[in-house]
Amino acid sequence: MYNNEFLIGCCYYPEHWDDSDLDKDIKKIKDFGFNVIRMGEFSWSMYEPEEGKYDFSFLEKAVKCARENGLYVILGTPTAAPPVWLAQKYPEVLCVDANLNTMYHGGRQQHNHTSKVYREFCKKIVEKMAYTFKDYDNVIGWQIDNEINCHRSLSYSDSDNRAFRTWLKNKYNTIDELNRCWGTRFWSLEFNDFEQITCPYPAPAYKNPSWVVDFLLFSSDAAIEYAKIQYDILKRITPDKFVTHNGIFGNIDNKKFTDEALDFMSYDSYPAFNERHKKMGGRDCGCRLSMVRGLSDRFLILEQQSGPGGQLNYLLPTPEPGQIRLWTYQSIAHGAEGVLYFRWRTAIYGAEQLWYGIYDHDGKENYRSKEIKKIAEELTKHSKELLSLKGINQVAILCEYHNVCNNQIESFAGDDFNVIYNYLNKQNIKCDFIYDTKDLDKSDYKVVIVPHLVIASKETADNLKAFADNGGAVILSARSGTKDINDQYYRKTPPGVFSELVGAEVEWFTRIPECSEQEIEFNNKVVKAETYYEVLNVGEAEPIATFNSGFYKGKPCFVKNENVYYLGTYFNESSACVYEDIIKKYIDIPFDDLDKCIEVFNYTEYTMFLNYSDKKVSIPYTVHDLLSGKDINEMEGYGVVLVKNIVE
């Protein structure tokens, strides 16, 4: 990622502490074993206390101190938290929710991305910041903004209305074309002029789905355009420094975001959010980490959990001894080339008093600080090995943003890609996320999972057919291929554009009533349909699963047409075993004799084992752990083992 070094460090906020703390804090951070700190992303009110009056002196002092102590620095642009004078003098910069409530100064992300006034102030502060730090050789990179769309992902202000109309004009050119694509003759929604169109505010009845999906697509483009303004400035003034962002959040096409406005995507990893629900729930964070890896082959963790996280109305579980190390290696196993812990010391004031860092409010050593210090030593010692963890997964899951938008408005069905991913992950079937089908024919994937691709084109169908014709397995599921890019239904029997590929059509379908359930006979086992299911009329396809009750008892629910599978239902954790059975026909699954609490990552030169249980777990062979330097045949609770060439 940078200078062939694994980056290990923390987020540090010099503005939160007395000036006298700076030198001793930075020295302690260096002595801790860290080589990088992230600073500066929430300090606009200090950089520009009054309009046009800039002062970066406190941050310059911190950057210089870091340089003197041999620390790299990643700086964040401060645009996620504008100063109060800006909002008071220019209220048009404020975000407005769907009920026309203005988001006032008092938290963060209260601005809207489309305000021309706000964008101009962002340009000025980012440009001033870039010029100020361009010659500091220890400043190696930039983080644009902070967690864009974390707290709110949509805005309905006057500037959003204006920007939405411009976006629609560029897309449709004429109002007649928009009316046609939106189907506005339904319920007398026809527009005579683009100026009549607003963001989709609440209405007595349900809103036009094409209108809402376009608004979601526009909102994504607005956020990306807002980020790209900063990216272009930073690359123009500091071309030697990388530009990233700590995503990923809602209502952004993160693939487009990465391609157009970043050098690579990064991530903030907080597994304790999942630990609220169940033991070993932190393992499911691998889904998001894999999504980031699909955006950027290698990336940074700009915030790695180091303590119990919390806001005023919640508090996450405190990491148990060993869990921080486990979660750190979870990030690395998925492709992180650097890990920065949030944060060095817990804030004594403000909204994140309960968001604990490496040190508590008292600044004293604790079990977490001791554990992280040992992790830093270990990561530094094994930097070369960790940076060489390269591997190719054989299974991909398609996550196409247009359908993500559609699933928001057709929420009766939702989506189950995360359920499928998490189930397969627990069987140590590793999956990548892909965001388009156009390059599938050039990939090394053996299986591509296409969950509920409601909006689909003939081009997508052709791409999947080419992949299947080349020997790859395509697994489609219920409601696929039924809508075009305007969110209008095809005048075709489902699965619409995929009918020829699937070799079957939907004869009957239903949303499962809450008072009933449906079971499916598949591969000598019984699985339950989830949410919605379809009865299939088989043409050229081969039935591989049938219903076992109802007037359609014995009729197909799953079919196979050469290398194409169509599964006419949604899935939960217990029924997702269907995917495992199909995938095993196309790839070999190593280490299927391990306890299910152990996750395995098999790379070209190395194999990593992660134990998500708090108990010791035996493994059925003796291996040499490079991290401990010992031969072992069992893993400690929350243990991590790195082995060279166990499987080549």
The SS3 assignment for 624 reads: strand
* Active site (annotated) includes residue 92: no
Rg (CA), the chain: 26
Question: Which helix H or strand E contains 449, and what residues bound it?
Answer: strand 447-450
Alpha carbons 335 and 293: distance in angstroms, whole number: 7
The SS3 assignment for 478 reads: coil
Q: Closest by alpha carbon to 580, among 452, 447, 470, 472?
A: 447
Place of tokens 């046609």: 180
Q: Closest by alpha carbon to 599, among 285, 195, 204, 196?
A: 285
How far, in whole angstroms, is CA 574 from its chain's centroid? 24
CB 59 within 8 A of CB 40: yes
How far apart, in Å, do the first and last CA atoms of the chain sit? 25
Residues 6+ apart with CB under 8 A from 556: 504, 535, 536, 538, 543, 544, 545, 546, 568
Place of tokens 């006979």: 521
Q: Closest by alpha carbon to 418, among 570, 304, 301?
A: 570
Question: Which helix H or strand E contains 602, and what residues bound it?
Answer: strand 598-602
Strand arrangement of the beta sheet that strand 7-11 belongs to: 242-244, 139-143, 72-76, 36-39, 7-11, 336-342, 299-305, 266-269, 246-247
Alpha carbons 412 and 475: distance in angstroms, whole number: 22
Alpha carbons 630 and 640: distance in angstroms, whole number: 12
**What does 568-586 look like in DSSP terms, one character per residue?**
-EE--TTTTHHHHHHHTTT
* Active site (annotated) includes residue 225: no
**Using the 8-state DSSP alphabet, how is residue 343 labeled?**
-
Alpha helices for 395-551 (secondary structure H)? 401-409, 417-426, 458-469, 499-502
Catalytic residue among 41, 275, 303, 371: 303
- Structure tokens given for 4: 């062939």
3-state SS string for 108-175: CCCECCCCHHHHHHHHHHHHHHHHHHCCCCCEEEEECCCCCCCCCCCCCCHHHHHHHHHHHHHHHCCH
Place of tokens 């397995």: 473
One-letter amino acid of 46: M
The SS3 assignment for 647 reads: coil
One-letter amino acid of 648: E
The SS3 assignment for 424 reads: helix
Compute how many other C-beta atoms are within 10 angstroms of the C-beta atom of residue 69: 17
One-letter amino acid of 173: N
- Structure tokens given for 313: 């109305």
Catalytic residue among 41, 48, 147, 400: 147
CB 584 within 8 A of CB 555: no
Question: Which class for 35: exposed (0-12), middle (13-18), buried (19 or more C-beta within 10 A)?
Answer: buried
**Using the 8-state DSSP alphabet, how is residue 2 labeled?**
B
Alpha carbons 621 and 615: distance in angstroms, whole number: 18
**b/e 388-416 (16+ beta carbons within 10 angstroms → b):** ebeeebbbbbbbbbbbbbbbebbeebebb
Active site residues: 147, 303
